[in-house]
């Protein structure tokens, strides 16, 4: 395994700059997930790490070695693609061993590496099959096995689960997390799925418009977003962003809302006294109260209740400001009626 350093990386396609002055350090053995909407620059950054794209400016180091100008084969990396990229005429065993055979490794070493990877990924019974006889999840395991046998310094994953159905995607996400713990390898994983980012990552890198918006643990990103984009992008359903006025207490659409304020935020709020603000409330932080119950509350006109078994997602409009949408995640039987 090896550490990775990106120094002031930019990437332009003609006049279009898709990665803008990006710097990032990734430690040995760390699992880092790049997440962001389509077109934000995350996959382009991964392709530059892999050597499939050259940065316009900047430097890339892997294991302390400048690899900026090196081809993929000389970077000691292995990449797992969304499309699996298996050779259809080869068996699973031949697919997994192909790169090793090109290196003219001893046959015994190849057999040992393939057998160990197959054991880790639970695909020993599949070694003599060809890709057309495999399910999507099995093909993805084979693609991962092909990366494992190379024993690279860095594993790169480019949205590897996007082609799988929801149930299989959840299963494979667990498999990848367990794989990283077994191998203790440095892994960089690209996804647009925030659930994958939150559950897999040691650290998340949030991208938007070619720039890094925030880097941190899943807990830090969720609980302390650096800006409005991160606050709205991370979390499902998305955070409620409510326009309000602060004058010693919050007013939403003229309705007073006496919210508890953490001590760390009090100085900033006092500096903003008398100004219009945006108040972020996670849907999971809301609950149903009776109209006569004392304490903070918002009157909401409910438009839709979505029963999901373990919870109910409620969508509605703020009573004092009907143009403002509000979403709440409540217990499955929240007593809202039909």
Provide the CATH number for the domain around residue 170: 3.40.50.300
Q: Is there a domain that residue 32 lies in?
A: yes
In the 8-state DSSP scheme, what is residue 62?
E
Q: Is there a domain that residue 225 lies in?
A: yes
**Distance (Å, rounded) from C-alpha 187 to C-alpha 143?**
15
Q: State which residues form the domain around 257.
A: 240-331
Together in a domain, 32 and 57: yes
Q: Which residue has the higher pLDDT, 142 or 288?
A: 142
Together in a domain, 119 and 258: no
Structure tokens at 87: 């050779």
In the 8-state DSSP scheme, what is residue 171?
H
**Distance (Å, rounded) from C-alpha 146 to C-alpha 162?**
19
Together in a domain, 104 and 228: yes
Q: Is there a domain that residue 302 lies in?
A: yes
Tally of residues, the chain: 338
Segment 173-199 mean pLDDT:
89
Give residue 256's pLDDT.
Answer: 80
Q: Which residue has the higher pLDDT, 295 or 27?
A: 27
Together in a domain, 85 and 151: yes
Residue 150 banded pLDDT, cuts 50, 70, 90: confident
Which residue has 């061993």 as its token pair? 97
Together in a domain, 135 and 190: yes
Q: Which residue has the higher pLDDT, 262 or 6?
A: 6
Together in a domain, 158 and 306: no
Structure tokens at 96: 């997994």
Final residue before a domain boundary, out of 233, 267, 287: 233
Q: Which residue has the higher pLDDT, 320 or 176?
A: 176
Q: Which residue has the higher pLDDT, 111 or 184?
A: 111
Q: How far, in whole angstroms, is CA 112 from its chain's centroid?
A: 33
Q: Is there a domain that residue 336 lies in?
A: no
**Distance (Å, rounded) from C-alpha 83 to C-alpha 140?**
9
Q: How many domains does the chain have?
A: 2
- Highest mean pLDDT: which range of 178-182, 292-296, 314-318: 314-318
Residue 207 banded pLDDT, cuts 50, 70, 90: very high
Q: Is there a domain that residue 213 lies in?
A: yes
Together in a domain, 118 and 170: yes
**Distance (Å, rounded) from C-alpha 139 to C-alpha 83?**
9
Together in a domain, 208 and 261: no
Q: Is there a domain that residue 337 lies in?
A: no
Q: Is there a domain that residue 43 lies in?
A: yes
Segment 213-225 mean pLDDT:
96
Together in a domain, 122 and 19: yes
- Highest mean pLDDT: which range of 46-50, 257-261, 264-268: 46-50
Give residue 296's pLDDT.
Answer: 60
- Per-residue pLDDT for 191 more than 90? yes
Give residue 166's pLDDT.
Answer: 81
Together in a domain, 53 and 156: yes
Q: What is the pLDDT of residues 5-45, one digit of tens each?
A: 999 999 999 999 999 999 999 999 999 999 999 999 999 99
Residue 186 banded pLDDT, cuts 50, 70, 90: very high
**Distance (Å, rounded) from C-alpha 108 to C-alpha 111?**
5
- Per-residue pLDDT for 294 more than 70? no
Segment 95-123 mean pLDDT:
92
Together in a domain, 72 and 201: yes
Least confident of 17-26, 123-132, 166-175, 211-220: 166-175
Final residue before a domain boundary, out of 233, 261, 295: 233
Q: Is there a domain that residue 209 lies in?
A: yes
Together in a domain, 229 and 280: no
Final residue before a domain boundary, out of 217, 233, 249: 233
The pairing of strands 31-35 and 186-191 is parallel
């Amino acid at each position: 395994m090896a550490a990775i350093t990106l120094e002031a990386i930019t990437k332009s396609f003609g006049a279009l700059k898709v990665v803008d002055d990006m710097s990032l350090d990734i430690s040995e053995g760390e699992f880092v997930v790049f997440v962001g909407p389509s077109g934000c620059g995350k996959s382009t950054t991964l392709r530059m790490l892999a050597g499939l794209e050259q940065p316009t400016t900047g430097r890339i180091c892997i294991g302390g070695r400048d690899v900026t100008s090196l081809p993929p084969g000389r970077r000691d990396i292995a990449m797992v693609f969304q499309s699996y990229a298996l050779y259809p005429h080869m068996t699973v065993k031949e697919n997994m061993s192909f790169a090793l055979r090109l290196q003219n490794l001893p046959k015994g070493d190849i057999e040992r590496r393939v057998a160990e990877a197959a054991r880790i990924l639970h695909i020993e019974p599949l070694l003599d099959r060809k890709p057309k006889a495999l399910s999507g999840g099995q093909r993805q395991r084979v693609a991962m096995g092909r990366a494992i046998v190379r024993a690279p310094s860095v594993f790169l994953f480019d949205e590897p689960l996007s082609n799988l159905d929801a149930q299989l995607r959840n299963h494979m996400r667990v498999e990848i997390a367990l794989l990283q713990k077994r191998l203790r390898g440095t892994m960089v994983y690209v996804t647009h799925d925030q659930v994958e980012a939150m559950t897999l990552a040691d650290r998340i890198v949030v991208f938007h418009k070619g720039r890094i918006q925030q880097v941190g643990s899943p807990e830090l990103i969720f609980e302390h977003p650096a800006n409005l984009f991160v606050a709205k992008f991370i979390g499902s359903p998305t955070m409620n962003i409510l326009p309000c006025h602060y004058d010693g207490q919050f007013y939403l659409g003229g309705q007073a809302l006496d919210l508890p304020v953490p001590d760390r935020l009090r100085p900033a709020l006092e500096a903003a006294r008398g100004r219009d603000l945006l108040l972020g409330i996670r849907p999971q932080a809301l609950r149903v109260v009776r109209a006569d119950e004392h304490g903070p509350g918002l009157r909401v006109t409910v438009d839709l209740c979505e029963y999901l078994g373990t919870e109910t997602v409620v969508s509605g409009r703020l009573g004092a400001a009907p143009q403002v949408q509000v979403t709440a995640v409540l217990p499955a039987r929240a007593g809202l009626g039909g």
